[in-house]
Structure 1
Amino acid sequence: MANDGPTPPALATWADVDPARNPFDPTEVPALVRTMVPAPPPAPVWRESRWIGESEAWAWVEAVSMALSDRYGSWAYRWYWGPGEGERLGWVTDRIPTATEAPAFVAESLLVWRRWLESLAERFDRFLPLLDPAQAGPGDLVATWEAAVAHLMRTVVAPVVDNDGWQGWCRLVLQWFLSAADVPAEHAEALVNGAVGKRFDHWVPLTAADIDDIAERLTRDVLSLTRIVSAAPNDNWPDTWPQDWPSWRATNTAGRGLT
């Protein structure tokens, strides 16, 4: 468990982590980190049915987080959050480095995290101009929103092996994307949680059908909230198709029950 201390930044909006708002020179990181990172404690050990030294380990992680965020911005507070890094190498407190290894350990983790944020920024920049209602018709907006959400979900889950780990990442990245698209922060979290739903809360693998379903739900709810379009494009299906099969765009059916 993390130690008590200053409230960490929520990083709930894209503005909190957007690389464009936080200039960063990766070449200077190794040298700077050597002057900023305190000596780490011994790695925690499991003894007598409990972890010994875990609170000290978290205190060190917190000290590093504060130093990095003071220097680089709030995004650096989660320097150890690189997707997949914990699964490949172990959770950060499971791999506390030695004093000699600490600067390189922190620098590499920070760079992994920054590169991942930059890759997200490139994807956001590709989709966001296409979501301008002044430049796109209703049908194009629906298709682009769905494509963007599905693409981001596939990107996020690719490095995540744990079936209980993808949900948090998807929620966070989709929330960032909505905030980048000017959806108010107070609505973005609720919209994403509503689209993902509780059915994925416990050890459930993500399927292609799930991605399509979440993309449709989130698109429908975002466009309904923002009133960007008055009606979704027609996507009618014949009466012989199974009940609940068509997408929410169908006008001649009850849709897929996406309520």
Structure 2
Amino acid sequence: MLPSAEVAREDRRRWLDPVTEFLAGRYGRRARGRNWSTGEADADGGIVEVWCCSSDSVTTPDATATLAVEALREWRGWLEDLAERFADLTPPGNTPATSTDHWYWERACTRLVTAVADRTEAKSGWYGHCKQVLRWFLAHSGIDKGQAQAIVENAAGGRSGSWITPDVLVADTVSSRFTSGAGRTR
């Protein structure tokens, strides 16, 4: 399935989709993030550091396969880290919002934005993955997909840019808007 080293650099990308489909079929759809790299890559804005892009990461079949497995492990580690964070950050008992649990939503948003900015090094397109993580957290907390999309877009849409780590004011604004949206749905 992997290309030979003689394939032109620009043609190496063609093998990504079939390999991704194979991995997703074998390990589940979450395996699709294994080449979601930091910086400008095949799929930029992610957290994977061991994989750059097909033009640089695809070399010999053995070396490429090894690198793809390492990238899959790195991605899985991130997903496991997020699962732990979600469990720790969900309001106690995952009960309907009251005036006292807005603090939990704000803290969760701030910590998740910070974690994603750190893991992606706030490189190219990082904010896309940040919004995805916030949607995943809301889904974990029982908020339906449509509501989660609206909450996250209202809170984070257009407030961050590539290669720019969010400052305190941006993080506070996103967290405040996230909290007001999440608190209303519960």
Task: Quickly name the TM-score band, shorter chain normalised.
Answer: 0.7 to 0.9
Tell me the equivalent position of 2:70: 108
1:62 counterpart = 2:17: yes
**In the aligned structure 1, how far is the partner of 2:168 from the partner of 2:122?**
17
Q: Which structure's CA Rg is the greater one?
A: 1
Question: How far 1:144 moved relative to its partner?
Answer: 0.5
Matched residue of 1:158: which SS? helix
Q: What TM-score, normalized to structure 2?
A: 0.83
Structure 2: distance between partners of 1:167 and 1:43: 36
TM-score, with normalisation over the residues of structure 1? 0.61
Aligned residues of 1:171 and 1:193 also touching (Cα < 8 A): yes
* 1:177 and 2:137 correspond: yes
Match of 2:60 among 83, 86, 98: 98
CA distance in 2, matches of 1:208, 1:91: 32
Contact 1:41–1:60 (Cα < 8 Å) also in 2: no
Out of 139, 154, 161, the position equivalent to 2:121 is 161
> Equivalences for 1:243-254 in 2 at 5 Å?
none
CA contact (8 A) 2:48 2:75 kept: no
Higher helix share: 2
Q: CA deviation at 1:53?
A: 4.6
* In structure 1, distance between residues paired with 2:52 and 2:34: 15
**Percent identity between the aligned chains?**
28
Structure 1 residues 196-215: aligned runs within 5 Å: 196-201=156-161, 204-215=164-175
Alpha-carbon RMSD across the aligned residues, in angstroms, is 2.4
The one-letter amino acid of 1:107's match is: V
Q: In the TM superposition, what is the alpha-carbon distance from 1:186 to its structure 2 partner?
A: 1.4
Number of equivalent positions: 178
State how 1:124-163 maps to structure 2 within 5 Å: 124-130=86-92, 132-133=94-95, 138-163=98-123
Larger RCO, structure (CA 8 Å, separation 6 or more): 2
Unmatched 5+ stretches in structure 1: 1-37, 45-51, 229-259
Provide the C-alpha distance between the structure 2 equivalents of 1:133 and 1:208, rounded to a whole number of angstroms: 29
Task: State the shift of 1:131 in Å.
Answer: 6.0
Where does structure 2 lack aligned partners over 5 or more consecutive residues?
38-45
